[in-house]
Amino acid sequence: MTSEQLQKARTFEETYGPRVPESERPLFHVTAGVGWLNDPNGFSVYRGEYHLFYQYHPYSTHWGPMHWGHLKTKDFLKWERLPVALAPDCEYDRDGCWSGGAVELPDGRQLLMYTGRRAQEENGMEVAYQTQCLAVGDGRDYQKYEGNPVLTAENLPDGCSPHEFRDPKMWREPDGAYRAVTVTCAADGSGAVLLWGSGDGFSWRFESVLERCRNEYGAMWECPDFFPLGGRQVLIVSPMEMRPMGLEFHAGYGTVCMIGSYNREDGAFSREAVQSLDYGLDFYAAQTLETLDGRRVMIAWMQNWATVACQAHGIRCYGEMTIPRELSLRGNRLIQNPVRELERYRVNPVVYRGILLSEETSLEGVRGRVLDMTVSVAPTSENGYRWFKVRVAKDGERETTVQYEPESGVIEIDRSRCGAPYDITHVRKFLARRQNGKLKLRFVMDRHSLELFVNDGEQAASLLLYAPESADVISFEADGGIVRMDIEKYGLEMP
Ligand code: FRU
């Protein structure tokens, strides 16, 4: 049965979604049907296709009572919109259906697990409770489970807060058992990741505390995911209130990737390496799935909570996801590259080899705002060069720059002059691995976003660009020496 709230959201989306001008949407990145989008949810395989749900408030371009929007795809680039999946229409989720995960049940149904939020007044203050809830469906319509909520304050280990208990990410183990991770706030006021187990997907029990923040990486954690990769185990979380640490972690809302090992017997995770997931300005709440051919693919919200008020006037649709990325490990580092399916959408190759560069230069055929471009540079002499710079989304007035200094290994992204309507954080620096001044930068641009992949995925950096699409000039410049540059640039088109 479709509730009144769900029907209202579906009708609203059907009416106003088609009125969002195409120019307001990227070409191949996921956006909301209409209105506001945040975290990816339920990113999973169902009946041979990839489903993606998302935190959704159709009625405005600002966060509000959360629904789950829904799409599916076969190749991570061409998406089919499906009707709104969940609305906050029950007592236990009346203030929002918050983030969660999905799995396919052996009987062919799809199971969603999400956080139900319910707020009430206590001593003149609003106090919210978060519980974990289920919904079952056929890939289009969902029924909330009559046994909801399935995890509440009573299931939490001592000291964990029922007010901060959310974001279940669920998967099925090779032996058929179900597992999920959630976050909570531990007694020390900082985040922890809890592991939960179930035989049937409906009845859940606490298994272990997988990892604790101990106020080291931010305070409260959000949106965990936990998966095997290359013989190791990876835990990702999105911490709030991060303190900056060198050039690895910036302040505020961040993302952290922990690589280690996992003992299934006692549910213990041993952390061996920690890094940022993304080094750009806009990236949060990442979630992964395993593809039908065994790849681990991650998608995230290409945004930062601190800058969500930076919206152009009059828009009808706000928020987009990153391009789905294939993950792998190289030693103790997480490697991420755009899904290989992107290559199918490349058109009009423009290739330059061995360009000798110093002064600011633009090259014939190398411009645009929807493109996949790889730039490799190397010094031409032993003295090297001081810096190398790529300017994109440029016109007479605006530009966004990516600069590399071989001496320090620092890459600096600067969009201060990109045309943003507010003075939000615009500059980010991070360290690339130094290789005698050799550097490879892959730029994936889709109208108002840039995702940068450094040295074949050793680092990724995502950011939104606020310049109008007409700002499409790209230029290259080196200082303090001549560099040799190779370029391979493709346009991207959706047939
Ligand atoms: C992360 C988050 C989640 C929560 C959701 C609410 O961005 O705060 O922890 O479930 O957004 O929309």
Domain ranges of the chain: 4-338, 342-492
Which residues carry out catalysis?
A: 39
Q: How confident is the model at residue 312 (pLDDT cuts 50, 70, 90)?
A: confident
CA–centroid distance, 39 to ligand 1, in Å, is 7
Q: How confident is the model at residue 433 (pLDDT cuts 50, 70, 90)?
A: confident
Percentage of the chain with pLDDT > 90?
A: 96
Q: Which atom of ligand 1 is nearest to the CA of 167?
A: 10
- Best probe residue, ligand 1, of 36, 37, 38 (max atoms within 8 Å of C-beta): 38
Summarize the confidence of residues 422-445 as an average pLDDT: 94
Summarize the confidence of residues 402-428 as an average pLDDT: 95
Q: Which atom of ligand 1 is nearest to the CA of 238?
A: 1
CA–centroid distance, 285 to ligand 1, in Å, is 8
Query: Is 287 a residue whose pLDDT tops 90?
Result: yes
- Show the tokens assigned to 104: 């396919």
- Best probe residue, ligand 1, of 86, 99, 132, 303 (max atoms within 8 Å of C-beta): 99
Read off the pLDDT of residues 362-384 as tens digits, 9 standing for 90 and up: 999 999 999 999 999 999 999 99
Mean of all residue pLDDT scores within the chain? 97
CA–centroid distance, 233 to ligand 1, in Å, is 24
Pocket of ligand 1 (CB under 6 A): 38-39, 55, 66, 98-99, 115, 166-167, 222-223, 284-285
CA–centroid distance, 366 to ligand 1, in Å, is 39
Q: How confident is the model at residue 265 (pLDDT cuts 50, 70, 90)?
A: confident
What phi and psi, each to the nearest 5 degrees, are found at residue 22? -55, -30
Ligand 1, atom 8: nearest CA belongs to which residue? 222
Q: Which atom of ligand 1 is nearest to the CA of 222?
A: 9
Residue 149 preceded by cis peptide, ω within 30: yes
CA–centroid distance, 304 to ligand 1, in Å, is 12
Amino acid 435: pLDDT: 85
Instruction: Write a three-state SS string for the chain.
Output: CCCHHHHHHHHHHHHHHHHCCHHHCCCCCCECCCEEEEEEEEEEEECCEEEEEEEEECCCCCCCCCEEEEEEECCCCCEEEEEEEECCCCHHHCCCEEEEEEEECCCCCEEEEEEEEEEEEECCEEEEEEEEEEEEECCCCEEECCCCCCECHHHCCCCCCCCCEEEEEEEECCCCCEEEEEEEECCCCCEEEEEEEECCCCCEEEEEEEEECCCCCCCCEEEEEEEEECCEEEEEEEECCECCECCCECCECCCEEEEEEEECCCCEEEEEEEEECCCCCCCEEEEEEECCCCCEEEEEECCCHHHCCCCCCCCCEECEECCCEEEEEECCEEEEEECHHHHHHEEEEEEEEEEEECCCECCCCCECCEEEEEEEEEECCCCCCCEEEEEEEECCCCCEEEEEECCCCEEEEECCCCCCCCCCCCEEEEECCCCCCCEEEEEEEECCEEEEEECCCCEEEEEECCCCCCCCEEEEEEECCCEEEEEEEEEECCC
Exposure class string for 40-61: b at 16+ Cβ within 10 A, else e: bbbbbbbeeebbbbbbbbbbeb
End-to-end CA distance of the chain: 37
Summarize the confidence of residues 63-72 as an average pLDDT: 98
Query: Is 114 a residue whose pLDDT tops 90?
Result: yes
> What is the reported pTM?
0.98
Q: Which atom of ligand 1 is nearest to the CA of 301?
A: 7
Q: Which atom of ligand 1 is nearest to the CA of 39?
A: 7
Ligand 1, atom 9: nearest CA belongs to which residue? 222
Amino acid 404: pLDDT: 98
> Which fold would CATH assign to domain 4-338?
Tachylectin-2; Chain A (2.115.10)
CA–centroid distance, 266 to ligand 1, in Å, is 29
Write out the CATH class of domain 342-492: mainly beta
Q: In this structure, are residues 355 and 483 in contact, taking their beta carbons and an 8 Å threshold? A: no
Ligand 1, atom 2: nearest CA belongs to which residue? 222
Read off the pLDDT of residues 21-57 as tens digits, 9 standing for 90 and up: 988 899 999 999 999 999 999 999 999 999 999 999 9
Query: Is 485 a residue whose pLDDT tops 80?
Result: yes
Amino acid 481: pLDDT: 95
Percentage of the chain with pLDDT > 70?
A: 100
Query: Is 15 a residue whose pLDDT tops 80?
Result: yes
